[in-house]
Structure 1
Amino acid sequence: MRKIFLATAAFLALTGMQNPPSGVADTPLSLWRLDCGTLDIGDLGVFSDTGLYSGEKKTLVASCYLVQHGDRLLLWDTGVDGALARKPKDAQGTFLKEKIVSQLQRIGFDAADVTYVGISHYHYDHTGQVADFPDAILLTGKGDWEVIKVWKPAEPRFRHWLSGGGKVEPLDGDKDVFGDGRVTILQMPGHTEGHQALLVRLASGPVLISGDQYHFTENREVGGVPSFNVDRADTLASHDRFEKLAKNLGAKVIIQHEPGDVGKLPAFPEAAK
């Protein structure tokens, strides 16, 4: 029985699914939604490998999130390129109203205050401003890090960490970010090799932030798989895990590209608690 107990305890510690230790849950925990761009999609057909949505159009958001745990900060994703800020939409229909560093300053933080930058995956609309946070520890899926190391389009964004100038943790499993089970990076491969989602257990209830597990509500409803995902079977397995977590935890689901889901959280600069 002792062996079973120890094995169970080790598993729960590894996955970050355990209840917070006594007293640790008193550490203040806040979650801000950040505006990290909009994307005009001219043909939603690319988001299904079964022929759905062909020819349909939609404007998606590129949302990011800031988690404050006591005196430590996790920035989740970094949106589109900061060079686009306050400029007209580019040729691909991408627009950015305000850089992340400016938004952080409006709530009393500087870039150097960010302890961790967690990225759901390496795509440009999730990592466009990552270089603005060189002091942060980079938390990325191990499979994604292997791609970043050899994929030339990613090199300018991640040069600081690739050159050894910053610390990176390539994650090969779930990551209990602050050690109390309330902020957990979840491995959800399929969209990319090391794609990740984020679970934040606020006092008001758990919030499950998608990365690109899904891109919009209709795609989630049918369990759709984009044609550009790297592995269909892994995507479907991650869909299954995501949905079971959402149901079993009673979590509020935020699809990061879905304007309606982003609106479930307080408008910046207010924070969810």
Structure 2
Amino acid sequence: MTIPSLRKASSSSSSSSSSSSSSPAAPWQVIALRYATKDLPPGHAVLDPDPHEGEARLDYYIWLCRNGDRTVLVDTGFAPEEGAARQRILLVHPVAALERIGVAPQDVTDVFITHLHYDHAGNLRHFPNATIHLQDAEMAYATGRCMCHARMRKPFAVEDVKTAVEMVYLDRVRFHEGDYTLLPGLTARLVGGHSQGLQILVVDGTTPLVIASDALHLRRYLTDGQIFPVFADYFRTVEGYRVLQELIEAGCEILPGHDPDVLTLYPRLDPDWEDAVVIRKVA
């Protein structure tokens, strides 16, 4: 099977994001940090099967975007206790991973939460100076009547959702409705599907980069007709794949959310550490 590169052969220099500034944005460095993995044999028996077990191997990432002025963390990983309860292998605490590349928790200026599932929205209390960016639809979904159904609430950790609500009351959350410019050179798009308020982040550049998170767990889903078996809305999930295809045609490169091959397709930040790779570098 041919695995798509998730980028168009001839990249475009134009960007679909809008900026409030007439001057070009400072380039963003983007680093992917793998903090955990799930590598169970197919058919592994668990007492309460999780649809995530359908894939034999998933890796878990957080992503860091920085340009000198701002340090944006895309997702915050899961809490160790939550990962252990779900039989995930924690390789390094997300905070420790950031510290290893020289980023202290208090240095993070913005936290972009793609969605509130347990593996993307834990550890929020560790970033005391960050503004947390979240879609209205995601908070409504994670705290509303859909959570009365066990199957729909399974990807969420109640402690993480409670923490997100607490952050609202501490004036730490900035809510968004639909697409918006996060910062010059960073554009958010509401996709939904996997979770009702799932948002992706487009990083400007000669070849714009799309941090797809769970809008695309594995790159092969764009070609093999499969979808990830956890979703809030099937139609919006497949429409999200169409949006990603359109972004590829526009010259973008797509970074999947849980694909192990991210670690082999991009160069290591540190030759001795396989779990940190440079997706975009700055001169």
TM-score scaled by length of structure 2: 0.74
Structure scoring higher RCO (CA < 8 A, sep ≥ 6) equals 2
Describe how 1:155-170 pairs up with structure 2 within 5 A: 155-163=158-166, 164-170=169-175
CA distance in 1, matches of 2:164, 2:233: 27
Structure number with higher helix proportion: 1
Report deviation, 1:158.
4.2
Describe how 1:1-273 pairs up with structure 2 within 5 A: 17-18=17-18, 21-25=21-25, 27-40=26-39, 43=42, 57-83=55-81, 90=84, 92-150=86-144, 154-163=157-166, 164-178=169-183, 180=184, 182-202=185-205, 205-248=207-250, 250-269=251-270, 271=278, 272-273=280-281
CA distance in 2, matches of 1:233, 1:119: 22
CA distance in 2, matches of 1:262, 1:243: 22
Consecutive unaligned residues in structure 1, runs of 5 or more: 1-14, 45-52
Report deviation, 1:117.
1.0
3-state DSSP of counterpart to 2:134:
strand
User: Are the equivalent residues in 2 in contact too, given 1:74–1:118 (CA < 8 A)?
Assistant: yes
Report deviation, 1:93.
3.7
- Alignment match, 2:274: none
Q: Percent identity?
A: 25
CA distance in 2, matches of 1:261, 1:251: 16
Aligned residue pairs total: 242
Cα deviation 1:200-240 (Å, max 9, x = unaligned):
1245x221121111222332213433343111111122211
TM-score scaled by length of structure 1: 0.77
CA distance in 2, matches of 1:41, 1:119: 27
- Alignment match, 2:8: none
User: Are the equivalent residues in 1 in contact too, given 2:124–2:164 (CA < 8 A)?
Assistant: no
Report deviation, 1:36.
2.2
User: Are the equivalent residues in 2 in contact too, given 1:40–1:93 (CA < 8 A)?
Assistant: no
RMSD after superposition: 3.0
User: Are the equivalent residues in 2 in contact too, given 1:61–1:258 (CA < 8 A)?
Assistant: yes
Consecutive unaligned residues in structure 2, runs of 5 or more: 1-14, 44-50, 148-152, 271-276
User: Are the equivalent residues in 2 in contact too, given 1:210–1:255 (CA < 8 A)?
Assistant: yes
Report deviation, 1:101.
1.7
CA distance in 2, matches of 1:239, 1:171: 22
CA distance in 1, matches of 2:128, 2:162: 10
Amino acid at match of 1:195: L
Report deviation, 1:169.
2.0
